[in-house]
């Protein structure tokens, strides 16, 4: 059987990882400034993570959500305390798209409406309503194109207020910082205006923190720079450091009903063990503070480089926009300088390294980038 060929692949076979480095099957080492799409939060093969999930899978990997699983409550308690939302409720699933699907479904149950507001360049997943809320017609199949979603300009307060004033918007879904859209940071005051307007018209505010959350921005959630509290927050990627897991943090104003939401694999024992190990390491190694400090250093130094039109982002979520297409730069970084980076569109390189990236590794990257740009 052949693989369904939907991924354009680099001719590199990665077989090993440690911290912020990975190795291919020929033994070549690479500096990982992408973390597998912002998934690797605490570093590849962290010894505590390996120990915890190894012990768990040797004991019990899975049982269904028909029985008590105390590990789920431990995840909820630990996550709530660390992120500042201990009064919220947690629903566990397996992927970011699932998290957004369930958040939007719950919003529609709450107010009975069907219209969703999203934003230009948004990415919220590749399934059903999540892909309809993603501003990319190339990946929205006819069956997904149901007219539920209105896309508004990013950071446009007046357009947002006018749309919500129609009074029939079920939910607004927005990324804490746009990732796939090119590392776009909300303008000062935009999130506060959005929160106030959603309150005014009983519209549910969903913060998609799948890429920008879990410490990546230098705070636990990127929206915490704007001092707002959404009705729901979706998380994935960094929550499991590579183990498939996701969650929806849900305001107390939503009352759960048996059978309303459900999942086979969500919150299984092994996934919970992975999530607990991630929180252990984030706390013990001060990874959120590290992301803020190392990210600030990287951005300060990158702004000195010739050829970079703009440096955007927060913490270790950084976008480098160039005047010209960056395909050749990214190829040289990978194959000559042995550095993995990400991309957005044609002109933006994305940096999404593990949160344990050191100052030394950051400076190493700067040297390798300078070698390409000189």
Packed helices 269-284 and 70-83: angle between N→C axes, nearest 10 degrees: 30
Count of beta carbons in the 10 Å neighbourhood of residue 334: 17
Last residue of a domain, one of 265, 284, 303: 284
pLDDT of residue 374: 85
Count of beta carbons in the 10 Å neighbourhood of residue 104: 27
Is residue 89 domain-resident? Answer: yes
Give the three-state DSSP class for 108: helix
Lateral strand order in the sheet of 29-32: 14-18, 21-24, 29-32, 339-340
Residues spanned by the domain of 150? 48-284
Is residue 201 domain-resident? Answer: yes
Burial of residue 369, with CB atoms counted within 10 A of its CB: 0-12 exposed, 13-18 middle, 19 or more buried: buried
pLDDT of residue 280: 98
pLDDT of residue 274: 98
Kindly state whether residues 155 and 94 are assigned to the same domain. Answer: yes
Task: Please answer whether residues 150 and 135 qualify as being in contact, where contact means their C-beta atoms are separated by less than 8 angstroms.
Answer: no
Is residue 88 domain-resident? Answer: yes
Kindly state whether residues 356 and 334 are assigned to the same domain. Answer: yes
Last residue of a domain, one of 284, 302, 323: 284
Calpha distance 90→105 (Å, rounded)? 15
Kindly state whether residues 20 and 69 are assigned to the same domain. Answer: no
The DSSP H or E segment spanning 177 is none
Is residue 180 domain-resident? Answer: yes
Calpha distance 37→195 (Å, rounded)? 28
Kindly state whether residues 237 and 298 are assigned to the same domain. Answer: no
Q: What is the CATH number of the domain that holds 197?
A: 3.40.640.10
The DSSP H or E segment spanning 211 is none
In tens digits, what is the pLDDT along the chain, a chain of 374 residues? 999 999 999 999 999 999 999 999 999 999 999 999 999 999 999 999 999 999 999 999 999 999 999 999 999 999 999 999 999 999 999 999 999 999 999 999 999 999 999 999 999 999 999 999 999 999 999 999 999 999 999 999 999 999 999 999 999 999 999 999 999 999 999 999 999 999 999 999 999 999 999 999 999 999 999 999 999 999 999 999 999 999 999 999 999 999 999 999 999 999 999 999 999 999 999 999 999 999 999 999 999 999 899 999 999 999 999 999 999 999 999 999 999 999 999 999 999 999 999 999 999 999 999 999 98
Kindly state whether residues 95 and 169 are assigned to the same domain. Answer: yes
Kindly state whether residues 108 and 136 are assigned to the same domain. Answer: yes
Task: Please answer whether residues 184 and 344 qualify as being in contact, where contact means their C-beta atoms are separated by less than 8 angstroms.
Answer: no
Those residues whose C-beta lies under 8 Å from the C-beta of residue 168, and which sit 6 or more positions away, are 113, 115
Is residue 5 domain-resident? Answer: no
Task: Please answer whether residues 216 and 315 qualify as being in contact, where contact means their C-beta atoms are separated by less than 8 angstroms.
Answer: yes
Calpha distance 39→42 (Å, rounded)? 9
- DSSP letters, 280-321, are HHHHHTTHHHHHHHHHHHHHHHHTTSTTEEEEEEETTEEEEE
Is residue 3 domain-resident? Answer: no
Q: Which of 275, 256, 194 is nearest to 227 (CA)?
A: 194
Calpha distance 228→191 (Å, rounded)? 7
Which position has the token pair 């092994």? 270
How many domains would you assign to the chain?
A: 2
Count of beta carbons in the 10 Å neighbourhood of residue 78: 18
Q: How far is CA 43 from CA 33, 36, 94, 364, in A?
A: 11, 11, 20, 17
Last residue of a domain, one of 284, 299, 323: 284
Task: Please answer whether residues 294 and 286 qualify as being in contact, where contact means their C-beta atoms are separated by less than 8 angstroms.
Answer: no
Calpha distance 265→92 (Å, rounded)? 9
Is residue 68 domain-resident? Answer: yes
Task: Please answer whether residues 245 and 346 qualify as being in contact, where contact means their C-beta atoms are separated by less than 8 angstroms.
Answer: no
Which position has the token pair 């990978």? 334
Q: Phi then psi for 179, rounded to 5 degrees?
A: -95, -70
Is residue 7 domain-resident? Answer: no
Q: What is the CATH number of the domain that holds 25?
A: 3.90.1150.10
Calpha distance 293→281 (Å, rounded)? 17
Instruction: State the DSSP code for 367.
Output: H
């Amino acid at each position: 059987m052949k693989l369904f060929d939907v991924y354009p692949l680099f001719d590199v076979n990665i077989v090993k990882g440690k911290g912020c480095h990975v190795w291919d099957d020929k033994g070549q080492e690479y500096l990982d400034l992408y973390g597998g799409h912002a998934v690797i939060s605490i570093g590849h093969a962290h010894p505590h993570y390996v120990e915890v999930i190894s012990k768990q899978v040797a004991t019990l990997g899975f049982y269904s959500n028909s029985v008590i699983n105390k590990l789920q409550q431990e995840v909820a308690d630990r996550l709530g305390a660390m992120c500042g939302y201990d009064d919220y409720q947690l629903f566990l699933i397996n992927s970011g798209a699932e998290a957004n699907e369930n958040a939007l479904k719950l919003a529609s149950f709450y107010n009975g409406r069907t219209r969703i507001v999203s934003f230009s360049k948004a990415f919220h997943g590749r399934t059903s309503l999540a892909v309809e809320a993603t501003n990319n017609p190339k990946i929205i199949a006819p069956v997904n194109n149901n007219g539920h979603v209105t896309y508004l300009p990013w950071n446009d307060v007046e357009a947002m207020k006018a749309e919500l004033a129609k009074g029939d918007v079920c939910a607004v879904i927005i990324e804490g910082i746009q990732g796939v859209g090119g590392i776009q940071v909300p303008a000062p005051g935009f999130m506060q205006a959005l929160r106030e307007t959603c309150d005014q018209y009983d519209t549910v505010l969903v913060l998609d923190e799948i890429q920008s959350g879990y410490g990546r921005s230098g705070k636990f959630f990127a929206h915490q720079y704007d001092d707002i509290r959404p009705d729901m927050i979706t998380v994935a990627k960094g929550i499991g450091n590579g183990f498939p897991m996701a969650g929806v943090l849900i305001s107390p104003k939503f009352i759960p009903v048996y059978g309303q939401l459900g999942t086979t694999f969500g919150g299984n024992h092994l996934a919970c063990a992975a999530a607990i190990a991630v929180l252990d390491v984030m706390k013990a190694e001060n990874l959120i503070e590290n992301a803020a400090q190392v990210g600030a250093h990287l951005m300060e130094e990158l702004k000195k480089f010739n050829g970079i039109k703009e440096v955007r982002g927060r913490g270790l979520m950084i976008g480098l926009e160039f005047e010209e297409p960056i395909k050749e730069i990214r190829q040289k970084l990978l194959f000559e300088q042995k550095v993995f980076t990400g991309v957005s569109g044609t002109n933006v390189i994305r940096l999404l390294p593990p949160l344990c990236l050191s100052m030394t590794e950051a400076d190493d990257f700067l040297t390798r980038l300078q070698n390409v740009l000189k």
